[in-house]
A and B are shown apart, each in its own frame.
Chain A
Amino acid sequence: MQSLIYMNNAATSWPKPGCVADAVSEALCAPPGSANRGGIEDFDVFEETRKSLTQLMKGQHYNRIALGANSTWGLNLAIQGFPLKTGDTVVTTAAEHNSVLRPLYKLRRERHIKIIWVPVDDGGRVCPESWEKACYTYKPALCVLTHASNVTGAVNNICLLTHIAKQVNATVLIDASQTLGMVPVQIDDWNIDMLAFTGHKYLLGPQGTGGLYVKPGLHLEPLLCGGTGIQSDRKEMPPEMPIHLEAGTGNEPAYYGLLAALRWSEENPADIKRIELLTEHLKQGLADTGAAVIAPQGKCTPVVSFVIEGKSAAEIGYILTESYDIVCRSGLHCAPRIFTDLGCDSTVRLSLSRFTTEEEIKAVIQAVSSIMR
């Protein structure tokens, strides 16, 4: 029997390094960290994770990272916690995920903000000229954009796009769900105000981990209020970061897993050239079968979207999964607005990881060519 081919890493990565499951399991078996005094000699998994993430993001202020459930949590915190008032404008892009779109729609209903959508090119990338035009025309209070499209893999030039937004004094929120761990992120050099990330994709950690970086000096209203273990006599959330944004007991076992993954990745850096080469092989191989592959020029994450004329994405996804044990995703990928710009109504998405092999790529191409025949 042939084994499963996992090509759904843009949704959640698999496999994880073995040390991740070990760390989660050990954390569940050991007395919880919160049983300690939180003293100088006690190991604080959240603090160590913040430090490791700060290093990865090339930042300096580890206590500016709020840790929660995932990037959806971080994005909601950023969008709903940012002081947007009635009539304020948010500039965002057609490539955004529902975890950006839905909080924005909610604020449009509740606070009557204005949302401007910057289109993307037919590869799913934000065009700097359109971005600049929108920023200068609408003078937004907040700009929100994804570092990379989760549908096409196109990586945006965040350094340039942030620089443009800063020219009109906008605050910039980056969704790095698809990039952190796979594409370099430089929060300080790129002058990013807020950055949401998730632990279970290219960071190789468990689900239920992720959060938000908030630049020093920027104040957000917490989305949730509750216990913090400190200053319990106050009626409001303590003002110190990151506790200001972190009510309730954290997912300590999962964070042990994420920390193990981060440390493992530091010791075993991904061979990005190899992953890019495999992704190219896949795009070329699929195109050779006659499939219409979305192939953005320039820097991309290992995500490949394609369609086949005369067959729905749902049907192709079904055949690949059920008949060939190739785990993929078909449909809108929770980014419904991008499809107008891509010129199709849905895609089949294959997403690789550092563990994907050349044999798996060949098997996927062979399976797709059997569908084409």
Chain B
Amino acid sequence: MDFECRKTENCLADSQIYEYKLPITVREFKIHLNGWTVEENHRYRRPMMIAMNRGLQIKGILDRYIITVRFPEDTYSEAKMFFEAWLKNEEN
């Protein structure tokens, strides 16, 4: 799938956090997360999900098109490249 990516502004110590705008909602994107630990929370005003896999964390509001991805600080450029290659290969 196609995506747009932007580094997010933040004030955290490990700050390798990027936003990705997807062509599908986070709810639809969730189906692609095979092998990830996915936690959904429907108690919040806008339900959201957090997914974890090998040090990567993805957060997103289920009805929106944007995910926030946090890469591990030490291997971030590799992890980012790998993640983006995977995302590109996924069918919408």
Find the A residue at minimum CB distance from B68: A318
A-B contact count (CB 8 A): 49
B11 contacts A334, CB within 8 Å?
Answer: yes
Q: Which residues of B38-80 are within 8 A (CB) of A?
A: 43-48, 50, 59, 61, 64, 68, 70
Pairwise interchain contact A332-B12, C-beta atoms closer than 8 A = yes
Q: Does B10 make an interface contact (CB < 8 A)?
A: yes
Given known contacts A318-B68, A323-B61, A370-B43, A332 and B13 CB-to-CB distance under 8 angstroms: yes
Residues of B within 8 A of A336 (CB): 13
* Complex: A367 Cα to B43 Cα, angstroms: 10
Residue in chain B with minimal CB distance to A371: B44
**A315-B50, A324-B44 as given contacts; A331 in contact with B11, CB under 8 Å:** yes
Q: CB-nearest residue of chain A relative to B61?
A: A322
Say yes or no: A318 contacts B59, CB within 8 Å: yes
> Contacts A315-B59, A370-B43, A373-B43: A323 and B48 contacting too (C-beta < 8 A)?
yes
Is there an interface contact between A314 and B48, defined as CB atoms closer than 8 Å? Answer: no
Closest residue of chain B to A370 (Cβ to Cβ) is B43
1/0 contact string of A286-324 vs chain B (CB within 8 Å): 000000000000000000000000000111001100111
B12 contacts which of A2, A319, A330 (Cβ < 8 Å)? A330
A329 interface hit (Cβ, 8 Å):
yes
B12 with A346: CB separation less than 8 A? yes
> Which residues of B in the span 1-32 have a Cβ within 8 Å of any Cβ on A?
10-13, 17
A367 to B46, CA, bound (A): 11
Query: Quick one: which of B11, B47, B64, B70 contacts A332, CB cutoff 8 A?
Result: B11
Q: Find chain A residues with CB under 8 A from B45 CB.
A: 2, 323-324, 367, 370
A322 — which chain B residues lie within 8 A by C-beta? 46, 48, 59, 61, 64
- What is the CA–CA distance of A346 and B14 in the complex, to the nearest angstrom? 11
A346 to B45, CA, bound (A): 25
The interface centre, meaning the residue of A319, A333, A345, A371 with most chain B CB atoms within 10 A of its CB, is A319
Please give the distance in Å from B69's CB to the nearest CB on chain A.
12
Chain B residues in 8 Å Cβ range of A371: 44
Which of chain B's residues have a CB closer than 8 A to the CB of A333? 11
Q: Are B10 and A314 in contact (CB under 8 A)?
A: yes
CB distance from B65 to the nearest CB of A (A): 12
Give chain A residues whose Cβ lies under 8 Å from the Cβ of B48. Answer: 319, 322-323
Q: How far is the CA of A334 from the CA of B11 in the complex (A)?
A: 7
Nearest-neighbour CB distance to chain A for B37, whole angstroms, equals 15
Closest CB in chain A relative to B38 CB, distance in Å: 15
List residues of chain A with CB within 8 A of the CB of B61: 322-323
Instruction: Give chain A's interface residues, CB within 8 Å of chain B.
Output: 2, 313-315, 318-319, 322-324, 329-334, 336, 345-346, 367, 370-371, 373
On B, residues with C-beta under 8 Å from A are: 10-13, 17, 43-48, 50, 59, 61, 64, 68, 70
Known: A324-B46, A370-B43, A373-B43. 8 other contacts (CB 8 A): A2-B45, A314-B17, A318-B68, A322-B48, A331-B12, A332-B13, A346-B12, A370-B45
A-B residue pairs in contact (CB < 8 Å), sample of 26 = A313-B12, A314-B10, A314-B12, A314-B17, A314-B70, A315-B50, A315-B59, A322-B46, A322-B61, A323-B44, A323-B46, A323-B47, A323-B61, A324-B44, A324-B45, A331-B10, A331-B11, A332-B11, A332-B13, A334-B11, A336-B13, A345-B13, A346-B13, A370-B43, A370-B45, A373-B43
